[in-house]
Amino acid sequence: MKTYFFETYGCEMNIAESAAVEQLFIARGWKKSESAQTADLAVINTCSIRETAENRILGRLGWFSGLKAVRECRPGAKAKMLEEAAEYVRDGAKPLTLVVMGCMAERLLQSFQKDYPFIDYVVGTYAKHHFAEIISAVEEGRKPFQIDDSEQYRFASISAEPGAFSTFVPIMHGCNNFCTYCIVPYVRGRELSRPVDEILNEIDLLGKMKVREITLIGQNVNSYHGTSTKASADDVNFAGLLQKIADHLRDTSSPIKWVRFMSSHPKDFSDDVIDVIAREPVICRHIHLPVQNGSTAVLKAMNRRYTREQYLELVGRIKARIPEVSLTTDIMMGFPGETEADVEDTLDLMRQVKYESAMMYFYNPREGTPAAKMEQLPVEVRKERLQRVIDLQLEHTHEQMSKRVGSTVMVLVEGVSRDDKTELLGQTEQHEKIAFKADKSKIGSFVNVKITELSGNTFRGELQ
């Protein structure tokens, strides 16, 4: 029986696509290998969003090149670093097929094909459906073939990891926004919305598995523009899609009780979307609303197409309509031209919104994007500004979470706590972690837990 190994970097889109490809291997009778050293085929799913991410992956490719040499019993291979593989080939060569997919594979396709001959297949973001042929070629011992990356993107029918309680459901692919710092539109192409019926079909399949929570994903879910073949040929916008999903889950008595979505571009977040969330309990009271920066001047240079005031007004409307909402965000510091006054604007915006948590980065120039040609701030300045934002966010996270101690909340139980095997770990509707004592039979179900204390960024609680 053949075995596969996945190493996935990057965002939820990559996690979903790795899971979708993994389903193909499982359907063909392959088994997951815990280690790349002894797998028949290894997939590295890559990300280009920051240079640091790409450098880490290039380092890993060097390691995989050594691994391939050991597996092919070639002289000069660094067997010491790869003891498990050296042991595995004791009786003779057992070649490894190496596949590189994802955004770096798309961005550096030609350079990978030319300068990294040890990579057997370079699978760009539009070509992942070719995995069925790759599997056949490995099974039949055929030589690697060149992959055509010129086709239209295809959504997989299912993207759940085997046995998962939570999963991502892609509803869109690509991005039309061209924020001046961002590589995504270049590696993922233009926006494409998945038809409503396909999304509902996947949700039905997931409900029959162990899935209890789904997150609808896309680079800008608010510009979803799909069609429904069943009811009418009318276009369905994002608010319409959320409503159809809520109705469908209710009509089918689905065991999926939580629906989340990410990411939302603030410029496209309509009042209709706010209304559906307020109306439908199945849609979580948690919104990830990336602001990127709190200064209108920086937002303009970033081509975000909203002002600080418009963002704050949107937050005001959301909080007025959904008072229990928790907001999370992405913030980027040190964009070209950012001044100290701009930094103060960002800190001030954070104090007004009080995010529950945030993904925070310092700006990283990406080749081929407009911002990479602008005059750059010194990297120490970028890092120091990021640190100030992180310090403030830590205070806010503590403050926001502390407010909820004493309340009783619904929790999706995800597994046994790593730190204390006698405890279970779950997550709340607001996407916080909570540990509590309960029987393992509760794993995979929803329970009510009273929050008794906050320890770091994890709640502790008592099962009710």
Cβ 78 to ligand SAM shortest distance, Å: 33
Nearer to ligand SF4, 46 or 417 (CB): 46
Cβ 173 to ligand F3S shortest distance, Å: 9
User: Does residue 292 belong to the site contacting ligand SAM (CB under 6 A)?
Assistant: yes
The H or E element that residue 455 is part of is strand 446-455
Nearer to ligand F3S, 45 or 427 (CB): 45
Q: How far apart are CA 402 and CA 265, in angstroms?
A: 28
Q: Choose which of 6, 30, 181, 459 interacts with ligand SAM (CB under 6 A).
A: 181
Per-position b or e across 384-393, b if 16+ CB within 10 A of its CB:
ebbeebeebb
Q: Choose which of 13, 19, 85, 184 interacts with ligand SF4 (CB under 6 A).
A: 184
SS3 of residue 463 by DSSP: strand
Nearer to ligand SF4, 185 or 189 (CB): 185
How does DSSP classify residue 14? H
Q: In this chain, which stretch among 178-186, 203-211, 231-239, 392-400 interacts with ligand SAM, using CB under 6 A?
A: 178-186
User: Mask 264-283, x = binds ligand SF4 (CB under 6 A)?
Assistant: -x------------------
User: Does residue 184 belong to the site contacting ligand F3S (CB under 6 A)?
Assistant: yes
How far does CA 185 lie from the centroid of its chain? 16
Cβ 112 to ligand SAM shortest distance, Å: 21
If one counts every other C-beta atom within 10 angstroms of the C-beta of residue 331, the result is: 23
Q: How far apart are CA 28 and CA 411, in angstroms?
A: 36
CB 309 within 8 A of CB 296: yes
Nearer to ligand SF4, 7 or 12 (CB): 12
Count, residues near ligand SAM per rule CB under 6 A: 18
Q: How far apart are CA 126 and CA 137, in angstroms?
A: 20
Count, residues near ligand F3S per rule CB under 6 A: 13
Q: How far apart are CA 206 and CA 254, in angstroms?
A: 10
Handedness of CA 430, 364, 63, 188 (dihedral sign): positive
User: Does residue 327 belong to the site contacting ligand SF4 (CB under 6 A)?
Assistant: no
Helix axes 271-279, 238-251, angle to 10 degrees: 20
Cβ 9 to ligand SAM shortest distance, Å: 12
- Cα separations in angstroms, 291 against 188, 200, 216, 223, 374: 22, 30, 19, 17, 21
CB 215 within 8 A of CB 166: yes
The pair of three-digit structure tokens given for residue 310, joined into one six-digit string: 């418009």
Place of tokens 């009080």: 354
Residue type, 238: F
Nearer to ligand F3S, 53 or 297 (CB): 53
Between residue 216 and residue 235, which ones bind ligand SF4 under the rule CB under 6 A?
219-220
Q: How far apart are CA 134 and CA 218, in angstroms?
A: 27
The pair of three-digit structure tokens given for residue 161, joined into one six-digit string: 């990891």
User: Does residue 47 belong to the site contacting ligand F3S (CB under 6 A)?
Assistant: yes
User: Does residue 246 belong to the site contacting ligand SF4 (CB under 6 A)?
Assistant: no
Q: Choose which of 306, 355, 363, 459 interacts with ligand SAM (CB under 6 A).
A: 363
Nearer to ligand SF4, 244 or 265 (CB): 265
Q: In this chain, which stretch among 179-187, 270-278, 319-327, 337-345 interacts with ligand SAM, using CB under 6 A?
A: 179-187
Helix axes 271-279, 308-321, angle to 10 degrees: 20
Q: How far apart are CA 172 and CA 226, in angstroms?
A: 9
Q: How far apart are CA 449 and CA 428, in angstroms?
A: 9
Cβ 299 to ligand SF4 shortest distance, Å: 11
Q: How far apart are CA 165 and CA 452, in angstroms?
A: 25
Nearest to 334 by CA among 385, 387, 389, 392: 385
Alpha helices in 183-307 (DSSP H): 184-188, 196-208, 238-251, 271-279, 296-301
Cβ 115 to ligand F3S shortest distance, Å: 20
Out of ligand SF4, ligand F3S, ligand SAM, none, what residue 330 binds, judged by CB under 5 to 8 A for its kind, is ligand SAM
Q: Choose which of 219, 237, 243, 417 interacts with ligand SAM (CB under 6 A).
A: 219
Nearer to ligand SF4, 48 or 397 (CB): 48
Out of ligand F3S, ligand SF4, ligand SAM, none, what residue 185 binds, judged by CB under 5 to 8 A for its kind, is ligand SF4
User: Does residue 49 belong to the site contacting ligand F3S (CB under 6 A)?
Assistant: yes
Q: In this chain, which stretch among 131-139, 159-167, 181-189, 400-408 interacts with ligand SF4, using CB under 6 A?
A: 181-189
Q: Choose which of 6, 8, 11, 311 interacts with ligand SAM (CB under 6 A).
A: 11
Out of ligand SF4, ligand SAM, ligand F3S, none, what residue 361 binds, judged by CB under 5 to 8 A for its kind, is ligand SAM
* Residues forming the site for ligand SAM (CB under 6 A): 11, 49-50, 181-182, 184, 219-220, 263, 265, 290, 292, 330, 332, 361, 363-364, 366
* Residues forming the site for ligand SF4 (CB under 6 A): 175, 177-179, 182, 184-185, 219-220, 265
